[in-house]
Amino acid sequence: MTTARPVVTISAAYGTGSEAIGRRVADALDLAFLDRAIPAAVAAELLTAFADVASLESHPAHGLGQWLTVFAPLGSAWLGVPEPQGPWQTESEYLDHTESVMRRAAGRGVVIMGRGASIVLRHHPGALHVRLDGPPERRLAQAIATGGLDPTAAAKAQRQTDSARRHYVRHFYHLDVTAPSLYHLYLDATAISPSTCAAVIVRAARDRAEPSPTSGPEASGRAEQ
């Protein structure tokens, strides 16, 4: 049996230092880092788009058009891969593309931030799914301290970013992004240092990637009997 390349998905709330943690994990595991969680810079636009999508029944053309207007330009920049030929015409085209990118990356080993990756890759063998969170007030204080942000602007960014990320997963997958059942590790990144969070994730990822003594053809055959 050979050890598979690790696959780690990280879902994170605003102010958890997730990008720094994700990069530490990717470097330690020698993996590509797909950092495409919803950034604060576009959160407000996304919330407006999601509000319009919610009214699709009464205004289908306007709602879908508004949504695609926001997401289409983000395609290559947000995903970190070339866009398909031509713009996306439907939500399903957009979702199929993003999910196919994640699945291809997982085949080579990867650390993926956001985009519902724990749901898309929930059946990927040996993948580790992580949630970084913490009390809102501590996450806000951490974002202000580490980013040198204005408190008022940071509080607004926190509200919008957390909301946009929740809406994204609820809209596409009908699930709560904070649900513990979606993750193997749920870490309070305001109480544990970034280096320790990264070390815990790295160890768990290696453990998940190691073949189980009960795996393999013989075990599979026994299970089917």
| pLDDT tens-digit map of 136-185 | 999 999 999 987 888 998 998 888 888 888 888 888 899 999 999 999 99
The Cα–Cα gap between 170 and 167 comes to 5
- Using N-to-C axis directions, what is the helix angle for 151-173 and 40-53, rounded to 10°? 40
Q: Is 7 in a helix, a strand, or coil?
A: strand
Q: Return the pLDDT at 128.
A: 97
| pLDDT tens-digit map of 12-41 | 999 999 999 999 999 999 998 987 655 555
Q: Domain residue spans in the chain?
A: 7-220
Q: What is the share, in percent, of the chain residues with pLDDT greater than 70?
A: 67
Q: Return the pLDDT at 201.
A: 98
Q: pLDDT averaged over the chain?
A: 77
Q: Return the pLDDT at 43.
A: 53
Look-up: residue for tokens 């709602």? Answer: 63
Q: What is the pTM assigned to this prediction?
A: 0.76
Q: Tell me, which fold does domain 7-220 have in CATH? A: Rossmann fold (3.40.50)
Q: In what order do the strands lie in the sheet with 128-133?
A: 32-35, 110-113, 7-12, 128-133, 185-188
